[in-house]
Each structure stands twice: as C-alpha cells, then as structure tokens.
Amino acid sequence: MTMEHEATLRFVTNLDRAGIEAQLQQVMKKATERNLPAVAALLATAGGQSRQELTQLITGCVGLLRAAPENRALIDQLEMIEINLPNLG
C-alpha cells in the first residue's frame, strides 16, 4: 500500500482572505498538475468571492475529487480552507 497522502497537513484556523486565497491557488496548481481541469477551472474563479460562494465552490471541488482516492490530500486541504471561511466575516 503506497501512501501519497501528505501525513502532515498543516492545520491552520486563522487564515484571513489573503491566506485563504493563497491556499486555494495552491490547490488549483496541484489540480492542474494532476490533470484535474474541472477542479482547476472552479478554483480559478475563487478570487474575491463571498464566504457563501467559496463554500459552494469548495463543496463542488470536493465532490469532483471524491471520485478518486488519490485526491484525498487535495480534499483535506480544501476542508482546512473551508474551516477558515468564517474568518471572512
């Protein structure tokens, strides 16, 4: 059994908008590298969106990623970002 999942995901709960958007950019880059164009396209629209819009966007991305177990690290990162969305106010 190989373990691609990053065992040490930095769990941060104090991200501001800039931090959240930077994390979303990282996930978009990883999605592009893993040939996940639908996820990358959704994440490309994240800049400046409201908390509610970002929640919907993240939910949509997680739904697309769940199709393959090798995407677990991306799902974990998106869920960490989602936990920070209340920081947007």
Structure tokens of 76?
Answer: 């974990």
| 36/28 Cα distance (integer angstroms) | 9
- Identify the pLDDT of residue 1: 38
- Identify the pLDDT of residue 12: 81
Contact (Cβ atoms closer than 8 angstroms) between residue 65 and residue 21? no
- Identify the pLDDT of residue 66: 95
- Identify the pLDDT of residue 11: 72
pLDDT average, residue stretch 68-82: 95
Q: What is the pLDDT of residues 19-72, one digit of tens each?
A: 999 999 999 999 999 999 999 999 999 999 999 999 999 999 999 999 999 999
